[in-house]
Amino acid sequence: MTQNYRGRIAPSPTGYLHLGHARTFWFAMERARAKKGILIYREEDLDFNRCRNEYSQAAIEDLDWFGCVWQEGPDKVRMKQSYRQSERMPLFLKAWKELKEQGLIYPCEKSRKDIRAASENIQNTDFEPIYPEAWRPSSHVTDDLNSPEGYNWRFKVPQGRKIDFHDESLGPCQFFGGKDFGDFLVWRKDGIPSYELAVVVDDIEMGISEVVRGEDLLISTARQILIYEALGAKLPQFYHAPLVIDSAGDRLSKTHQSLSLRELKKAGHTPEELRQSEAWWSGIEDFLET
């Protein structure tokens, strides 16, 4: 069991990586190392409007400087597959087809604004505006559609369905379909799969046994569990790492340029020193004890 551990880090080249990314990836690396497993570097570069080659190159250099080590990835010639999502479209299309044939997804013409307005009357727990169930089209609508092209496609979330899972860091987690989140996107009108679909397809296909990512993606995990089930795949373990927050208590984002690994390096910091800083340590102790 331990020998088969396969973890991954999955940066999106939409900006320079910051200390928060480095910490999540460090957790992933430590966990893979502790289990004598493999760590995969997968580039999540599907958003053509936001991703840039320059960031893709920089992410590898910066993580390398920081001391992150992975065994499979776009910069390593290890396997026949590509480690860039933009080169894995056939896999995503296959999953889209599978979901469509099971009647689990549908094309949707409503805008985000429509959904926001409609959801004002639906009670939810504040995570996101809930897509009204009544807007789902009747099932035969998809019969003639052989490609996702031209539409946003949504996953039919079973209303009231309890999704519970054990998180290796947070313990038991629980969400309810239709209350915490509604019908979510699996394919975007601009021609690319959504984050939720692409990440699950890749994690299944790459044989990932544990997904380590930031706590901000906890609710995404609940959505993704529904996709795993629909595709008949075994769930990996999940470990949601605590986020690094700034002095105002906000989580870091790619707009915090002063905390980008690049800037920290330029300012003369060393990875060792950063890993001992207060921002780095808050929340990391409980991992080290396990």
| Site residues, ligand GLU (CB under 6 A) | 10-12, 44, 199, 213, 217
CB under 8 Å to 130, separation ≥6 — which residues?
A: 115, 119, 122, 124, 178, 179, 181, 182
Residue placing its CB nearer to ligand GLU in the complex, 14 or 124: 14
**Nearer Cβ to ligand GLU, position 45 or 108?**
45
Nearer to ligand GLU, 44 or 72 (CB): 44
Compute the least distance from the CB of residue 69 to ligand GLU, in Å: 18
| 38 versus 217: smaller Cβ distance to ligand GLU | 217
CB 206, min distance to ligand GLU, A: 12
Least distance to ligand GLU from the beta carbon of 110, Å?
A: 26
Residue closer to ligand GLU, measured from CB, 44 or 62? 44
Beta bridge partners of 239: 212
φ, ψ of residue 20 to 5 degrees: the values are: -65, -45
State the minimum distance, in angstroms, from the CB of residue 199 to ligand GLU. Answer: 5
Dist. CA 248–CA 255, nearest whole Å: 14
In which region does residue 255 sit, left (phi positive, over 0), alpha (psi from -120 to 50) or beta (all else)?
A: alpha
- Rounded CA gap, 171 and 79, in Å? 34
Q: For the CB of residue 24, give the shortest distance to ligand GLU in the complex, in Å.
A: 8
Paired tokens of 202:
């890749």
C-alpha to C-alpha distance for 274 and 155, rounded to whole angstroms: 41
Query: Tokens in use for 45?
Result: 């570069």
